[in-house]
Amino acid sequence: MFFFDPVYMLYVFIPTMLLSLGVQLYLKRSYAKWSKVRNSTNLTGTQVGEALFQRTNLMNIPLEVVPGQMTDHFDPRANVVRLSQGTASQPSVAAMAIAAHELGHVQQYQTGSALIKARNFLVPAERLSANGFKTVVDIDLLGAFNASRAAFAQLKATRGCIIYVSAGQAYTPYAFQVHVAAAKAGIDMMMRNLALEWGRYGIRVNSIVPGPIEGTEGMKRLANPAVLEQIRRAVPLQRLGTVDDIGQMCAVLASPLASYVTGTVLVADGGQNLEGSALFNRGAEQILKANG
C-alpha cells in the first residue's frame, strides 16, 4: 500500500530513501572491509555451514556455490543453501556471518517459524486452521485498513492518494491460496469503498497487481531456475517483471497524470492473468506432494 502527498514526500519519503541508500552503502562497505579479515576459526563459509549442521539439530541440506557477490540465499523449494563464491571459499569474518545468517533461515523453515508460515504458504483449505487464515487476513487486510485510517487526516489535508498492493488471487482462483485470495479480494473491495467515500475529500484510492517480479525475495526463495523459466514462458510478454515496472506504475498512479483515476485495479503482470492459474496449480500440487 502506498500513500502520496507533498509533505510526506519531503519529510518522510525522501529522507527514508536517502537512509536506505546509506544503509546499502554501509552494508557494501562493511562487506568489503570484513571480507578481507580472516575469522578466528579459519573456516570458510561452506565449512561454517557444515559445522553448524553438525552441532545443531538442523537437518543437513546441500550447500551450493553460485556466482556473484552477496548473492547468498536459502532456497526452500529446492531445499538448498546457495553461497556466493566469496562466502563459500574465503575464511573471512564476512563469510562466517553470511553463512550463519543463511543457516538461520534454514532453521526458520525447519522449525516451522510462525513468521515464515504467515508470509507465504501453500495449504489445502481443509487443512488450514482458523488461526492461520486469520493471521494472513490480519496482516494484509486489517493492516491495510489500520494504516489507511491512521493516515486519513493527513491525506485529507493534502488531497493525497493511496495505492494498495494486491495480487492475482483477488480475482482468479489459485489452489491452496484461499487465505491469500480472501485477504487480497478484501483489499480491492476496501479500495473501492474508500475511493467512493473519500473522493469528496480529494483522496484517490487505487490498487496495483504485480505479476512475477525477478530479483525479489519471494522469487529468489520460492522458485528454482527451472520453475522460473516455466513462469517466464507462461507470461505473454515472455519475461518476468522488474521492480522498476511496478515502481513506474505506482509513480504514474501517484502523479497528476492519474488525477482523475480512482477506485481502479491496475494489473501490471505482463499478461500473466490471461493464462489463468493452471501452471501455478500444477506446481503447487507437486510441491505439496513432495512435502508429504
| Cβ burial 126-158 (10 Å sphere, 16+ → b, else e) | eeeeeebbebbbeebbeebeeebeebeeebeeb
| Residues labelled catalytic | 166, 184
The number of residues making up the chain comes to 292
Domains in the chain, ordered, with CATH?
35-115 (no CATH), 127-290 (3.40.50.720)
Residue-level pLDDT at 107: 79
Q: pLDDT, tens digit, for every residue of 245-287?
A: 999 999 999 999 999 999 999 999 999 889 888 777 776 676 6
Residue-level pLDDT at 11: 46
pTM for the predicted model, two decimal places? 0.61
- Residue pLDDT tens, the chain, 292 long: 655 555 544 444 555 455 555 556 766 777 888 888 999 889 999 999 899 888 887 788 899 999 888 888 888 767 889 999 999 999 999 899 999 988 888 877 776 655 555 445 678 888 888 888 888 898 889 999 999 999 999 999 999 999 999 999 999 998 888 999 999 999 999 999 999 999 999 999 999 999 988 877 666 655 566 677 888 888 999 999 998 999 999 999 999 999 999 999 999 999 988 988 877 777 667 666 665 5
Is residue 83 a contact partner of residue 102, using CB atoms and an 8 Å limit? yes
Residue-level pLDDT at 12: 46
Could you give the 3-state DSSP secondary structure of residue 210? strand
